[in-house]
Amino acid sequence: MPLVHNKVVTIERHIIEQERATHGTGDFSGILRDLSLAFKIIYREVTRAGLVDILGATERQNIQGEIVQKLDDFANEVIYRAMDHGGHLCAMASEENEHIMAIPDHYEKGKYVLLFDPLDGSSNIDVNVTIGTIFSVLRRVTPENTPGTEADFLQPGYKQVAAGYAIYGSSTMLVYTAGKGVYGFTYDPSVGEFLLSHDNIRIPDHGQIYSVNEGNYHKWDPRMRRYIDWAKQDIEGEDKKAYSLRYIGSMVADVHRTLLYGGVFLYPADVKSHKGKLRLLYEANPMSFVIEQAGGKATTGVERVLEVQPERLHQRTPLIVGSPKNVDEVLLLLRDVE
């Protein structure tokens, strides 16, 4: 991965330069600028999570007598409030809200819709483990200057114009694609900027890691079990060593590691959840867009994730995503046994 040594490039400058090169309208740099502000505020709260009594039930009172929110509700509200008045969006949808969220009447309506998972992996908050925010931007399909509708959101993932995530880990990063490669920015809290640290990220062709909640093993289809059994084997003559298992339980963290180190991340369907657990629009599509743009693959096991036509805002999908050769290995073993 080429690390950037010679230039200090903020995310804003990077996007403006990309837009200039493609004669963009500035909408996208506006969206990313507003989003990165929201991520900085969420970062601040995430790093203070152990200090202030922000965790626990919604609507608990803090010592000043103010109502404190759960961190995922807080993140949800921060993103909405950072994005509602920019003039670039005509509606938003969040994993935390049942219905789409309108832009208030007195603000301009733009050409895009934003989908987000405000704090993914939130079961990890209380134990100081990496969490993230995922986002996806689509161009609206309904007439301009009107409020957005559900139809603007129910588009297949290949129509995304941009997607990415913020990861709150040992450092905070913002990783995004606008369909021309994948770029990673590391947050420098001392200057308050996301600085380009990972230029044109390419996923390794093949990796030695598989990442899955193996506690579900006995609920999986036998073909999925066959892949996992195979992944754990040393196979003499084929130069195949047992893969390592890494599973954080925060999709953003597991996919981020897969992007940089290679391997495969899986959340398959099982006998209880026939569609898996992850949400197509808020989780699978944006992460699949990033991985494909870095040279990887993303499949439901049956079709390319980005080609699934969504029917509902919160629909789930099985997901197999990662290095192209690892995903091909899974697909090979998912074929029916004669």
Q: Is 121 in the site for ligand AHM (CB under 6 A)?
A: yes
Long-range contacts of 18-21 (CB under 8 A, 24+ apart): 18/178, 18/180
For ligand AHM, which is the closer residue by CB, 118 or 204? 118
CA distance 87 to 108: 5
- Choose the contact partner of 184 out of ligand AHM, Mg ion, none; CB within 5 to 8 A by kind: none
For ligand AHM, which is the closer residue by CB, 294 or 321? 321
The 8-class DSSP code of residue 30 comes to: H
CA distance 82 to 8: 26
Q: Is 324 in the site for ligand AHM (CB under 6 A)?
A: no
Residues 184 and 9 sit within 8 Å (Cβ to Cβ): no
Instruction: Identify the burial level of 39 via C-beta atoms within 10 angstroms of its C-beta, where 0-12 means exposed, 13-18 middle and 19 or more buried.
Output: buried
The 8-class DSSP code of residue 217 comes to: G
Q: Is 117 in the site for Mg ion (CB under 5 A)?
A: yes
Token pair in block for residue 12:
């804003």
Q: Is 254 in the site for Mg ion (CB under 5 A)?
A: no
Q: Which segment (45-53, 149-157, 193-201, 247-255) binds ligand AHM by CB under 6 A? A: 247-255
For ligand AHM, which is the closer residue by CB, 5 or 99? 99
Pairing type for strands 182-188 and 193-198 reads antiparallel
Q: Which segment (12-20, 47-55, 116-124, 154-162) binds ligand AHM by CB under 6 A? A: 116-124
Pairing type for strands 209-211 and 244-245 reads parallel
- Tell me how far apart the 2 most distant CA atoms of the chain are, in Å: 68
For ligand AHM, which is the closer residue by CB, 169 or 249? 249
Query: How many residues contact ligand AHM, by CB under 6 A?
Result: 11
> Least CB distance from residue 95 to ligand AHM, whole Å?
6
Q: Is 250 in the site for ligand AHM (CB under 6 A)?
A: yes
Given candidates 40, 198, 277, 316, which one binds ligand AHM under the rule CB under 6 A? 277
For Mg ion, which is the closer residue by CB, 84 or 117? 117
- Choose the contact partner of 250 out of ligand AHM, Mg ion, none; CB within 5 to 8 A by kind: ligand AHM
- Choose the contact partner of 329 out of ligand AHM, Mg ion, none; CB within 5 to 8 A by kind: none
For Mg ion, which is the closer residue by CB, 19 or 96? 96
> Least CB distance from residue 300 to Mg ion, whole Å?
17
| Coil vs helix vs strand at 304 | strand
**How many residues in total does the chain contain?**
338
Instruction: Identify the burial level of 290 via C-beta atoms within 10 angstroms of its C-beta, where 0-12 means exposed, 13-18 middle and 19 or more buried.
Output: buried
> Least CB distance from residue 282 to Mg ion, whole Å?
6
Q: Is 122 in the site for ligand AHM (CB under 6 A)?
A: yes
Residues 269 and 276 sit within 8 Å (Cβ to Cβ): yes
Residues 33 and 174 sit within 8 Å (Cβ to Cβ): no
Site for ligand AHM in 166-195 (CB under 6 A): none
Q: Is 72 in the site for Mg ion (CB under 5 A)?
A: no
Q: Is 156 in the site for ligand AHM (CB under 6 A)?
A: no
Rounded to the nearest 10 degrees, how much is the dihedral formed by the CA atoms of 186, 75, 92, 301? 70
Residues in contact with ligand AHM by the rule CB under 6 A: 95, 117, 120-122, 213, 249-251, 267, 277
Residues in contact with Mg ion by the rule CB under 5 A: 117, 120
